[in-house]
Amino acid sequence: MKRISKVLVANRGEIALRIIRACKELEIKSVVIFSEDDVNGIWVPRADECYPILGNPVDAYLKYDRIIDLAKKSNCDAIHPGYGFLSESAEFAQACIDNDLIFIGPKPKHIELFGDKMASKVAMKKINVPVLEGTNSPIIDIKEGKRIALEIGYPIIIKAAFGGGGRGMRIVHFANDFSKMFESATNESIKYFGKGDVFIEKYVQNPRHIEIQVIADQYGNVVHLGERDCSIQRRHQKVIEITPSPLLNDKVRQKLCDISVNAMKELGYESVGTVEFLVDEKDNAYFIEMNTRVQVEHPVTEIVTGVDIIQRMIEIASGDKLKYKQSEIQFRGYAIEFRINSEDPQNNFMPTSGVVKKYLTPGGPGVRLDTSLYSGYELPTSYDSMLGKLIVWALDWKGAVQKARRALDEFHIEGFKTNIQLHREIAKDESFKNGKFDTGYLDMNMNKFDLGAKSSIANEEEKSLELKNLIKKIKENNLVSLKNKFILY
């Protein structure tokens, strides 16, 4: 196995910046590609080399023949796909290998297996991983779908067989709604994934969404880095991620970790990955999918374990063995990640755009901000609305929530609407503070949140203006002593 000395980052934004930083610490040179829309991206000049890909701004990160060609011409040894775009493309991973480039990620066969929701479900069932009752192969026939739904019993969920992220997913509570929902799911699946195949499963009402982070080397060694609770979601998209889960008991936690590690050993998995489960009210757990890439929420795991997941990905791709045994991994405290998006929660979460006019970021102990934003940056409209991730850490759950409230109060972005106020409302909600939430949390609580409330920064600005006016008034009246005036204020 050749050593990696130069990596092409086939991504953009905060994850590109994250990979560049990991490469610098490993003394590995980094190369980035960028679209015309990303010419002002802060990550672009941070890399050792950068190359534009002209034309359609989305295709710049999707047409892998051009990316591979650039990697070869710039003498890269490897390509890191980040997340999104090509990160879960078995075709791309294989093309890298065929061109003598190291793909920093799992084997193509595992990307292909877990990219197919039905095939992965069948494979996991064979090795005694618990799965939800439902179809064992994708279907496209609505009559067959109706029959299966009746056999399972309502409510059921329809899911795109070749996609994720909540696309092509519909929950059906009554038989009369099945046809409409089936057509809606298959049409959306065709639009986003090119295939209308779906599968049908028993729907678990308001479960907890728990995922296990695993790392595996090329020598059969597999460890877990604990769980993340991703239950707070909107339209099946994760909004907040937490580790450890304040609701999971130790017995269930250990069971899920053991299942995940044993499954990855059995399948010969390599690199990092995340095994995702639904856990119902009675603590029954069911496998739902496996993500064969680094997750958006990986920072919370890094903070409580001290493990740099991106660096470990690169080292494993270089042929290194895992640096530690399971017993050597220590878990400390609680971490919460808030996904910061350019969207308007008061207008059905419509995406927003504009120029960053004012940008004040939180800081202090236990606060991490993964973002590529800066004052004066103009948001491209061609990409996902995520601006970055605010991560907080404390020794206990109560401390983590308190730190989150303080950090979110300090976070201020002007120029377009964001979801920061939504996060502030969640962080001060009693159910959240008590660690009581499931996948239905946002649907149940959105109506009570004050999304139009002023931030503490806005109140500070008003107070600052009052102080300036007071100083002006004092000077205009030739008053020598300011002390009493400030006391009066």
Contacts for 484 with CB less than 8 Å, ≥ 6 apart: none
Contacts for 308 with CB less than 8 Å, ≥ 6 apart: 22, 25, 302
Q: Which amino acid is residue 3, in one-letter code?
A: R
**Which neighbouring-strand residues pair with 287?**
131, 277
Burial class of residue 310 in the structure, from the number of CB atoms within 10 Å of its CB (0-12 exposed, 13-18 middle, 19+ buried): buried
Residues catalogued as catalytic = 293
What is the Cα–Cα distance from 252 to 51, expressed in whole angstroms?
Answer: 48
What is the Cα–Cα distance from 331 to 213, expressed in whole angstroms?
Answer: 13
SS3 385: coil
The size of the chain, in residues, is 489
Are 2 and 77 contacting, i.e. CB atoms less than 8 angstroms apart? yes
Alpha helices for 285-347 (secondary structure H): 298-305, 309-317
What is the Cα–Cα distance from 258 to 255, expressed in whole angstroms?
Answer: 5
Phi, psi for 430 (deg, rounded to 5): -60, -40
> Is residue 284 left, alpha or beta, with left meaning phi > 0 and alpha meaning psi from -120 to 50?
beta
Q: Which amino acid is residue 2, in one-letter code?
A: K
**Which neighbouring-strand residues pair with 103?**
79
Contacts for 272 with CB less than 8 Å, ≥ 6 apart: 213, 214, 215, 216, 293, 294, 298, 309, 312, 313, 316
Helix (H) or strand (E) holding 360: strand 358-360
